[in-house]
Structure 1
Amino acid sequence: MKEPLPLAAIVGQNARAHRKHYGATLEDVAKSASRLGLRWNTGRVGDLESGRIPATLPTLFVLAQALGEVTKKHVSIADLVWYDGWVELNPSLTIRGETLKESLEGEPVELVARDIHGQVEQIFGIFEDIRRMHQDTWGNVPEELQHKDPQEVARIAATAGVAERRLCKDFSIDPQALAALSLHLWGRSFSKERDRRAGEGANAQRRGRVSRELKSEIETYLESGTERGDGQ
């Protein structure tokens, strides 16, 4: 994945590429943006394309309209922020470009570790510390799960979302323990396995039914571990 870039720089790159591709000039964009209330001149458009203007929502909205007018091609705000790499939103948060684009296309904002720059690597590094700190909650799962490859477990944990957090509460287990269990049972997270079994475009009722089936599989496995004397 490409190196992180500030959002303003990405917007500037995308705006310039779109403008040039369709033969529009800086003056064309400036005039259109000015009519829409931004009072821009060619220098101001140049500043934007160089990443020197903050990518605020009002600016993005007017810019998308202005570019659409001068190129006769529809431009969305999602188009302006798209980047096949990491997007720096502020000094403390850098996320995947795909995640940002999806959120602007209507997907709920629900960041997981893989969406945030550096989070997966941190999970790899602290996995064993977390396991030692939460021996009480790891103790609720069969012992064989405690010896799974830490990096594979971290990979599963990095895709966890709301469904996994609920399961951790229901079964009183640590998120990494749930990730190890999911890896053992399905080779993927609970959410990923639910979506795979439910099928593309499944409705809420179908997804709920599959979720209950998967939860039952977890219960069966944990009960079998108790019968073997594991996790005690």
Structure 2
Amino acid sequence: MLAGNLRRLREEAGTPVEEIVKAAGVIGLEWTPVWLTALEKGTKSPTAEQLLALPVVLTASLGHRITLADLLAGEAPVLLGPETAVRARHLHDLVTGEPTHPLISLPVPEPAPEVGAAARAAEKMREIRHAGLGNIDMRALSRAEAGAGDAETKLARKLGVPPILVIAAAASLWGRSLTEERDARLAEGGTPTAINRKLTTDLTVRLEEAVRADTGQR
């Protein structure tokens, strides 16, 4: 059931396996195309952690919201062990159903830090893909994000875009952040005004080109 739903959702979105693996890497998951393909074929089973991470990664890579219920949709019995099976509807209801205890008697736990980080990473990937920068090298993006500073925030505010798009555009141009590129050019000589103007122009053009290219492919 999971295998079929995973394959169907990916194919409907027209997203290659490599894009899903890339999105997983952004939040620190070491998934591989071979493993994901085996998961789609049903020859591999995900761990509990991998199953919970799938909706986050798929939401980021497929371009629309995917829930655990989407992955558990179906009527076929689900094997929990060699001699144990449950109805798919039962699992689906466990994921989407109402609580069986009064809410007032249940403590409300704080969300785990890693869950919040994964959600933020997924949102950033959605913004990057929507802006036409989805093919960016993940290592360059990670470096650019780590090296970003006030320059990215100020330029993003000026352009009216999320800071992650300025970071992604810089990574695609120079393999590092705007802040790092600016500092490197200042060290080589030149006036701050001229350097900032040139970098702003380059990044603005890069963002416009990415949006045009992405629009043309739709």
Q: TM-score range by the shorter chain?
A: 0.3 to 0.5
Q: If the length of structure 1 is used for normalisation, what is the TM-score?
A: 0.40
Q: If the length of structure 2 is used for normalisation, what is the TM-score?
A: 0.42
Q: Which has the larger radius of gyration?
A: 1
